[in-house]
Amino acid sequence: MTDRELFQLAARALDNAYAPYSHFQVGACLLSKDGRTFSGCNIENASYGAAICAERCAVSCAVSQGVREFEAIAVAGRESFAWPCGICRQTLNEFAPELKVICGNASTGEYTVATLPQLLPRAFGPKDLAGRD
């Protein structure tokens, strides 16, 4: 799957976003190592802390189906770039510390590519807990 194709799937996921408070709709699409894709969108809540970002929604969908190895994620904002927040970066690092991150603006089709280590330098993850019981 190309970066553009994955980004287009993320842009389509925007249509399901539930963002009545921020009006900032985000879609994401996660590519597993076996080639499957898992889409997600942001889901806001009147109790703001209960909101779910599009990236974590996509990860939850994948993990709930037994998939835990990922190659890339695309994230699309409706009218601007929507880079993963800190919590999403940490969640992505849990499963794919070398993940490719494609981020862009769905209305213009513009996107850019980075790696998770660029977005989350000196990450803390499962390797840091190895050997601890």
List, by residue number, the catalytic residues. Answer: 55
Q: Helices 86-95 and 54-64 sit at what angle, rounded to 10 degrees?
A: 30
Q: Is 34 exposed, middle or buried (0-12, 13-18, 19+ CB in 10 A)?
A: exposed
* Structure-token pair, residue 98: 């070398």
* Structure-token pair, residue 35: 């080639």
Look at the block and give the residue holding tokens 């769905």.
106
Phi, psi of 97 (to 5 degrees): -60, -15
